[in-house]
């Protein structure tokens, strides 16, 4: 009866015989055969053309992450996430409310005005409609004041 050492040796040799061509072949290939891949230059700012824009789950996740960024104080990152949410689920009003808040916080009054207006267009019976309408009026007066100052 064969001992353990001889069985181990036989199994090892069999395994080497099976994989040796692949191992040796991989080592002998030249760099001319396999060109080096280009470094990743993808900035991932847009969906791939073959990917659908409608992605409600992604929109919800973008809203969640955008709110996290707002709490953290990173308004630019929050704006990006809220814009992504609006693209991922067109016709969804909530991203525009959050986007308006972030833009207002950053001082982008005209953009905030557009976002709040779009929010109410999409959700005319919003619970916070009165509050948003007050914000819109305030932003309109501030924008008109800045127009009169720039023309004088």
Complete domains list, the chain, with CATH: 56-145 (1.25.40.10)
With a threshold of 0.85, does the pTM exceed it?
no
- What is the distance between the alpha carbons of residues 30 and 27, in angstroms, rounded to a whole number? 8
**Residue 99: its pLDDT value, please?**
98
List the Cα angle 151/110/89 in 5-degree steps: 160
For residue 66, count other CB atoms closer than 10 A to its CB. Answer: 26
**Residue 46: its pLDDT value, please?**
57
**Structure-derived torsion over alpha carbons of residues 88, 123, 127, 78, reported in degrees to the nearest 10:** 30
The candidate with the shortest Cα–Cα distance to 107, out of 77, 65, 85, 139, is 139
**Residue 40: its pLDDT value, please?**
46
> Is it the case that residue 147 has pLDDT exceeding 50?
yes
- 108-118: per-residue pLDDT in tens? 999 999 999 99
> Is it the case that residue 150 has pLDDT exceeding 90?
no
CB 115 within 8 A of CB 96: yes
User: Residue range 9-20: average pLDDT?
Assistant: 59
**Residue 44: its pLDDT value, please?**
46
Query: Is 82 or 152 the better-scoring residue by pLDDT?
Result: 82
The separation between CA 152 and the C-alpha centre of its own chain, rounded to angstroms, equals 42
CB 116 within 8 A of CB 135: yes
- 53-85: per-residue pLDDT in tens? 778 899 999 999 999 999 999 999 999 999 999
> Is it the case that residue 28 has pLDDT exceeding 70?
no
The candidate with the shortest Cα–Cα distance to 86, out of 128, 51, 115, 127, is 115
Altogether, the residues listed in the chain come to a count of 152
> Token match 């996740």: residue?
61
Residue-averaged pLDDT of the chain = 81
User: Residue range 25-29: average pLDDT?
Assistant: 51
């Amino acid at each position: 009866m064969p001992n353990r050492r001889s069985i181990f040796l036989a199994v090892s040799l069999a395994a080497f015989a099976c994989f040796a061509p692949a191992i040796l072949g991989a080592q002998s290939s030249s760099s001319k055969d396999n060109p080096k891949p280009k470094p990743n230059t993808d900035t991932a700012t847009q969906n791939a053309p073959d990917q659908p824009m409608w992605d409600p789950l992604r929109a919800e996740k973008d809203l969640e992450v955008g709110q996290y960024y707002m709490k953290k104080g990173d308004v630019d990152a929050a704006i990006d996430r809220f814009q992504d949410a609006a693209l991922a689920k067109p016709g969804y009003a909530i991203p525009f409310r959050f986007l308006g808040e972030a833009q207002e916080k950053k001082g982008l009054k005209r953009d905030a005005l557009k976002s709040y207006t779009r929010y109410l267009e999409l959700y005319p019976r919003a619970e916070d409609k009165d509050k948003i309408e007050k914000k819109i009026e305030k932003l309109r007066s501030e924008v008109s004041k800045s127009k009169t100052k720039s023309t004088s």
